[in-house]
Amino acid sequence: MHAILYAILGVVVILVLGPAVFADRSPIPETSGNVTKINEPAQLETVLKSNKYVVVDFYADWCPPCRAIAPVFSKLADDHAVAGQLGFAKVNVDHVKDVAKKYGISAMPTFMFFESGEPAQVKIEKHGAEEVVEMVRGANVALLRSVVQEMAKKSLSS
């Protein structure tokens, strides 16, 4: 009996709150002049070739976690971008599907890291141990911040 009641309650909550949570499909505004919004595959190739290191945010306008982490990504770009060394880009997976497919993006947001135009692994210090990060799936602010800070150190020393 309780299971049926909880199931009905769950459906009601989804019907009432669902539209409010997923209603905003307007474009996520970019507040940083240090983030290149990618509109076609050639643009990303240009960004990858013109910077030694690049952080790419694969996102979708309908994705609430993408909206939540967008200001953090912009702030990281403002704090760490260095022309020719460390670049930041955003790819809307619904608009530039070829790029998302090329890199096997299936969850949003996903952050990928590149070195010399190729996908890269970044070694970070976590809880006193070294961890290798290939990408960040989801709005994991602490992990994204750690990887970007490590890339910034590498970009300044190269």
* pLDDT attached to residue 11: 62
Mean pLDDT (whole number) for 11-29: 58
Domains of the chain: 25-157 (3.40.30.10)
* pLDDT attached to residue 4: 76
The set of catalytic residues is: 63, 66
| Angle (nearest 5°) at CA 108 between 30 and 33 | 15
Sign of CA dihedral 117, 121, 125, 130: negative
Whether the pLDDT of residue 2 is over 60: the answer is: yes
Q: Looking at 20-154, which runs of residues are DSSP E strands? A: 35-38, 53-59, 86-92, 110-115, 118-119, 122-126, 129-133, 135-137
pLDDT tens for 104-115 read 999 999 999 999
State the pLDDT confidence band at 5, using cuts at 50, 70 and 90. Answer: low
Reported as half-sphere exposure (CB side, CA atoms, 13 A), residue 43 has a value of 15
Mean pLDDT (whole number) for 130-152: 96
- Which has the higher per-residue pLDDT, 109 or 129? 109
- Which has the higher per-residue pLDDT, 48 or 156? 48
pLDDT tens for 40-90 read 999 999 999 999 999 999 999 999 999 999 999 999 999 999 999 999 999
